[in-house]
Amino acid sequence: MPNHDRTFNFSAGPAGLPLPVLEQAQQEMLNFRGCGASILEISHRSPAFIDVLDSARDGIRQLLGANDDFEVLFLQGGSRLQFSMVPLNLLQSDTDRGNYVVTGTWSEKAHQEAANCHATDMIWSGKENGYSELPDQTDLQSLVTNDAAYVYYTSNETIQGIQFQDDLSFAVVPSVCDASSDFLSRPIDINKYGMIYACAQKNAGPAGVTIVVIRKDLLSPTLNECPGYLNYRNHADANSLYNTPPTFAVYMVDLVCQWLLNDIGGLEQMHQINREKAELLYATIDGLPDMYSGHAAPANRSLMNVTFRLPSQELTDLFLKQANDQGLTSLQGHRSVGGIRASIYNSMPPEGVLALRDFMNSFYTQNSNSR
């Protein structure tokens, strides 16, 4: 069992937060930096909160290497709202189409939402193979349609546990990436993106804030017909204070950025730690094929969500129960997929993954006769 009576929490989201971040929030809770009130109780226009907002924005810029060509916005409505905001903002003429790469549950939902009201094309789908594989970037390039205004994809499919290893970029057309479950987990080349966004509750903070990083030239030149809150330009013009932002969540994102920059040492280091954690689990799965079988094609395995199955539902239930008893919690796979999903985002310490690896080995030893 880890310190502080806290379990090793493998939740897919809202997920664990780094312990130093929680401790700092706890320590600053009653009197936030001399305000005489908590961060929850002060105006979003107060100098103390504006400092937090500026610091969170700078932290994201620094981690992603995003210069002034990009806006960093803090929005609400989760990643789901982006499924609508992307086409509403980026399809600016009647002839524009959104191109969608559908690799799993989340990109499927994004495409469905966009297709309800907008001109879209699904240029690739992995549904037939159970969303266990990803397309090759060069193959995708040839599928982009002439009238595409953007190509939309999901860098890490949280439910299936498959992840693009590279930033996707397309000649002429900007890429729009839902990075909800691998944001800030590795360095990216931000200049390859037209827009990248993430809800915070996996790698970047708590639920309640969605971070959008968008190239300024993609903001509509004038306010178009879309409702005010849904227009990126309104948020950009108002410095993310178009309405009351989720102040506490923005504060937590700032603390996570500071932790990544100062404690971890940046995204290269974070990526290395994440690679090592994931390799431990995949090696265990591959080493015990009688007990564990991975969902993702090996070349497309996610470093964030490790998905695998056991030979029967009885063994799966036993695995979950015994793991839980040992302080390894929230390992059940998504209800649509079943099996096991170990979400090992930035905040999961290597000791948590080692504890799971040891548990998987001993579970195999104890149950290898009952397969």
Hey, which residues are catalytic here? 106, 178, 202
Residue with Cβ nearer ligand PLP (196 or 291): 196
Q: Does 254 bind ligand PLP (CB under 6 A)?
A: no
Minimum distance from CB of 158 to ligand PLP (Å)?
3
β pairing state of 97-102 and 148-154? parallel
Residue with Cβ nearer ligand PLP (252 or 355): 252
DSSP-assigned beta bridge partners for residue 178:
154, 197
Among 22, 28, 44, 80, interactor with ligand PLP by CB under 6 A: 80
Residue with Cβ nearer ligand PLP (194 or 291): 194
Minimum distance from CB of 40 to ligand PLP (Å)?
21
Q: Does 78 bind ligand PLP (CB under 6 A)?
A: yes
Among 7, 9, 11, 79, interactor with ligand PLP by CB under 6 A: 79
Minimum distance from CB of 105 to ligand PLP (Å)?
8
Minimum distance from CB of 254 to ligand PLP (Å)?
19
Among 66, 140, 177, 199, interactor with ligand PLP by CB under 6 A: 199
Stretch of residues binding ligand PLP (CB under 6 A), selected from 68-76, 136-144, 166-174, 176-184: 176-184
Looking at residue 232, its amino acid is Y
What part of residues 89-148 is at the interface with ligand PLP (CB under 6 A)? Answer: 106
The phi-psi region of residue 187 (left if phi > 0; otherwise alpha if psi is between -120 and 50; otherwise beta) is: beta
Q: How many CB atoms lie within 10 A of CB 139?
A: 9
Q: Which two tokens stand for residue 332?
A: 């059940």
Q: Does 215 bind ligand PLP (CB under 6 A)?
A: no
φ and ψ at 341, to 5 degrees? -135, 120
Residue with Cβ nearer ligand PLP (165 or 272): 165
Minimum distance from CB of 13 to ligand PLP (Å)?
5
Q: Is 369 exposed, middle or buried (0-12, 13-18, 19+ CB in 10 A)?
A: exposed
160/71 Cα distance (integer angstroms): 31
| Secondary structure tally for the chain: helices H, strands E | 10, 14
Among 11, 132, 154, 175, interactor with ligand PLP by CB under 6 A: 154
Stretch of residues binding ligand PLP (CB under 6 A), selected from 24-32, 75-83, 255-263, 296-304: 75-83
Nearest by Cα to 9 from 315, 344, 253: 344
Q: How many CB atoms lie within 10 A of CB 131?
A: 25
Nearest by Cα to 250 from 64, 84, 58, 82: 58
Total residues at interface with ligand PLP (CB under 6 A): 11
Q: Per residue in 24-38, is it b (16+ CB within 10 Å) or e — as a string?
A: bbeeeeeebeeeeee
Minimum distance from CB of 359 to ligand PLP (Å)?
25
Minimum distance from CB of 314 to ligand PLP (Å)?
28
Q: Does 158 bind ligand PLP (CB under 6 A)?
A: yes
Handedness of CA 17, 21, 26, 30 (dihedral sign): negative
350/9 Cα distance (integer angstroms): 12
Residue with Cβ nearer ligand PLP (165 or 368): 165
Which residues of the chain form contacts with ligand PLP (CB under 6 A)?
Answer: 13, 78-80, 106, 154, 158, 178, 180-181, 199
